Amino acid sequence: MLFFSFFKTLIDHEVTVELKNDIRIRGVLKSVDQYLNIKLDNIQVVDELQYPHLSAVKNVFIRGSVVRYVHLPSGSVDVNLLEDATRREAANQAGKGK
């Protein structure tokens, strides 16, 4: 659930989602759910002419399973906090395993 929570902190930031079919879509992150399905608003497709089917589309719901990368604005990521959270999550997981 860590990354679900993490993405929730990025709501209303502009991100670029790269799909497994190489399409890159930039837009404002509007929502995310437990499968890391992503909803973007005001989208812009990088290399738009190659993907004519997206020309009339203004917001997208992207299925989490087809996402390869999410490019984040570095300014909006608190790296220390994320490190802490990651360790805490790892410790919790280890605790559960015993």
Measured distance CA(15)–CA(7) in Å, rounded: 11
Among 48, 78, 83, 84, contact with other proteins (rule: CB under 8 A): 48
Among 33, 78, 83, 84, contact with other proteins (rule: CB under 8 A): 33
Nearer Cβ to other proteins, position 47 or 94?
A: 47
From first CA to last CA, the distance across the chain in angstroms is: 20
Among candidate residues 70, 74, 98, the one with its CA nearest the CA of residue 3 = 70
Nearer Cβ to other proteins, position 4 or 87?
A: 4
Measured distance CA(79)–CA(85) in Å, rounded: 10
Nearer Cβ to other proteins, position 53 or 96?
A: 53
Give the 3-state secondary structure of residue 70. strand
The minimum distance between CB 87 and other proteins, in angstroms, equals: 19
Measured distance CA(89)–CA(98) in Å, rounded: 15
Residue 58, interface with other proteins (CB under 8 A)? yes
Where along the sequence are the contacts to other proteins (CB under 8 A)? 4, 8-9, 11, 19-21, 30-35, 37, 39, 43, 48-50, 52-63, 65-66, 68
